[in-house]
Structure 1
Amino acid sequence: MRRYSRQKLISPSIADCHASCGSSSALPGPAALDRRRRRSHEGRFTSAEGSRWVAPAAPVRPEGRDPAGARRHDSLGAVSRLALAVVLALAATVPACSGSDGDRVSSKSSTSSRIAPSRCPDGGFVRRDLRYAKREGVPAGANSLDVYPTLRSCKAPVVVWVHGGGWRSGDKANGAIPKAVLFTQAGYVFVSVNYRLYDADDTRPAVYPAANEDVAAALAWVHDHIGDYGGDPDRIALLGHSAGAQIAASVGLDPRYLRAHDLGLDTLACIGPLDTEGFAVQEVASNPVYADVFGTDPEVWVEASPVTYATPGTKAGDVLLVERGRPVRVGQTQRFADVLRAAGVPVTAVAAPMYTHAQVNTKIGQADDTVITPALMAFLADCLDA
């Protein structure tokens, strides 16, 4: 992995990233598309969507680059609606990634620990609700993830996404389709993760560090089993937005979480905590969103702050940050970046003053986004494809 420090990143438009994934004859009509976009009460797609994920057969990168939260927003642009239609289309056949003898390989999780399969698994099907941990009293869905394979490679880099929602709401399905299109087109396996959410009415509310522990467990599962889905366990990026950004930064910098699974920080090639005020919890602890989850103990606030672990000698991977919002938010992000750089961690900072907090998430994968998506894809190419 190439490691170098960059202050700002200015990248080209990604309009060319949205090449057609198939012929127009494979697209469902508007009525069928509306049915497939209907959601269940849990925030997941209904069975009308079907189980097939039609992954793009070839990667498309910005400007010819070589290959190597909140609730779901329904106001997608025209390009995203086309992309959604493409990925939900029920194609007659999907080419499988197979071994040299052409045999299909089972997609069941490997029973051998951290050993990639010798042949490629089936491609083109989303695997939903894979349970990465079993905790007493925790619903299966809270500790589950979805895997979107790519047909580009049998050992593709992996992008793991952690949704936002203030630790109280959100789901791995929210906004996942545009991201899955973007990342699988680029030749990455995409994984979207659920974690325990805070509910004041629960007898045992999921307070800090429950979400961090869950995401670390999900990463351990990915490291052990993603080879069964065409992914490379040695090339994993962890991204998140809002609360998911704070979680991603915590797991990517505080070694305790991955160490609990006999893994080190170098398990992650890079991390992208996209837009959060939680890099220094003690600075926002009076906010009820944080107070409920992180409590009232100042020592816990420091312990829960990713900036605490940005120390010289850290094995943390490269970091991508987004600077936007009120001056206090921008200032905290810039101070976090300075501490990381002082610790020897390469940092890419993307200035996005024109975007709202929600848009930092919803713009990812949109054809009209010339800020977040190009910078993100260039960052991933640097840390995953080198």
Structure 2
Amino acid sequence: MFAPTLPDTSMPRIFNMFIIRLLWQIPTGLFLVVVLFLSINEYAAARPSRRIKDIPYVATNASGTDAERHLLDVYTPRKATSAGKMPVVMFIHGGSWNSGSKNLYTFIGRRLAKQGVVAVIINYRLSPAVLVPAMADDCAEAVRWTTQHIAEYGGDPDRIFVMGHSAGAGLAALLATDSRLFAKLGITKNPVKGAILDDPAGLDMFDYLTRMEYPNDEQYLISYGKDPAVWRSVSPMYFVSDATPHMLLYTGGRTYPSITSSSQRFIERLKEHNVKYDYKVLPGKKHVAMVTQLFWQHNLIYQELLTFVGADK
């Protein structure tokens, strides 16, 4: 016997549930594809390189040593190049002088090592624990460690270049221009052979903090303090000289106006002292994209960097 036919009120509900599940599956599927792609890409990049993690670059028993922040990682190619000792690039992360970690930039270490460069990626102390002058001292200590030990990892201590993004690029510029940082360590000649500045912040914090043109600029006083003499003492703009080494400088076409204007003034200062430089504005790039683009091995910055440091690819 057939049951009487009744209106099937369950069908629209079942259909709606199906659509909802389908819509959920689409972004999940795309996410998984992206994750899989990036994982494969990262594995391919990691295979030719070796990472030596968490090396202290100051004596662990020294006064003021920070067990987490006074560390660096070294990335080396697994296969030796034909040219002997390899050029060295020390990368300094950004993060508004109060955040960031070397562990976020393994992709830069991997990409450089894959292309015949020994990469050193560092941590340094951050505010509010310390002010920017102490951060600059940390970076100089990391360079000193590199000069003393990088040959053990296949790097050439006579070809050390510094690189950074944002606040890290400002610190890299300071290392390249202010030899007093090394004189305090007993190093009579600045060991930095060149600098790669990626959307640099902090090139002239004396001017920036004097003007206070933008909302929330007071936040940077936590990192720089309130003494204008200190602001000037860690602004690379005032230390450019005839001895300043060759620089590569990149800014994004859609980065912060303060970075654009200070970079242009920095270039003028380099010109005044006949310092060799190359400067490019990358169209359409915002500040964060200026560093995330370094995930891609064939990025323009890598292409020019390899020639700049003399890498044997």
Coarse TM-score class (shorter-chain normalised) = 0.7 to 0.9
The answer to whether 1:258 aligns with 2:177 is: no
2:154 and 2:44 map into 1 onto residues whose CA distance is 21
- Provide structure 2 residue ranges, at least 5 long, that are not aligned to the other structure: 1-32
375 and 273 in structure 1: CA distance in 2 versus 1, 3 angstrom threshold: closer
- Provide structure 1 residue ranges, at least 5 long, that are not aligned to the other structure: 1-74, 95-123, 200-204
Other-structure match for 1:148: 75
| TM superposition outliers: structure 1 runs of 4+ over 6 Å | 75-78
Other-structure match for 1:384: 310
Q: Name the SS for the 2:226 alignment partner.
A: coil
Q: Name the SS for the 1:357 alignment partner.
A: coil
Where do residues 1-386 of structure 1 align in structure 2 (5 Å cutoff)? 80-87=38-45, 125-134=50-59, 135-150=62-77, 151-153=79-81, 154-176=84-106, 178-199=107-128, 205-263=129-187, 266-285=190-209, 286=212, 287-311=217-241, 313-314=242-243, 316-324=244-252, 325-366=255-296, 373-385=299-311
| CA-CA distance at 1:264 after TM superposition | 5.1
**Count of residue pairs brought into register by the alignment:** 267
1:155 and 1:188 map into 2 onto residues whose CA distance is 9
One-letter identity of the residue aligned with 2:301: A
Other-structure match for 1:26: none
Other-structure match for 1:108: none
Q: Name the SS for the 1:234 alignment partner.
A: strand
1:239 and 1:168 map into 2 onto residues whose CA distance is 19
| CA-CA distance at 1:320 after TM superposition | 1.4
146 and 277 in structure 1: CA distance in 2 versus 1, 3 angstrom threshold: closer
265 and 321 in structure 1: CA distance in 2 versus 1, 3 angstrom threshold: farther
| CA-CA distance at 1:87 after TM superposition | 4.8
88 and 182 in structure 1: CA distance in 2 versus 1, 3 angstrom threshold: closer
250 and 79 in structure 1: CA distance in 2 versus 1, 3 angstrom threshold: farther
2:143 and 2:180 map into 1 onto residues whose CA distance is 13
2:44 and 2:305 map into 1 onto residues whose CA distance is 26
Q: Name the SS for the 2:285 alignment partner.
A: coil
- Structure that is richer in strand per residue: 2
Aligned-pair identity (%) = 28
Q: With the length of structure 2 as denominator, give the TM-score of the two structures.
A: 0.78
Name the larger-Rg structure: 2
| CA displacement 1:49-84 (0-9 Å, x = unmatched) | xxxxxxxxxxxxxxxxxxxxxxxxxx9787643231
1:359 and 1:138 map into 2 onto residues whose CA distance is 33
State the superposition RMSD in angstroms: 2.4
2:206–2:232 CA contact under 8 A, matched in 1? yes
| Structure 1 stretch displaced more, 160-169 or 373-382 | 373-382
328 and 137 in structure 1: CA distance in 2 versus 1, 3 angstrom threshold: closer
Q: Name the SS for the 1:166 alignment partner.
A: coil
Q: With the length of structure 1 as denominator, give the TM-score of the two structures.
A: 0.64
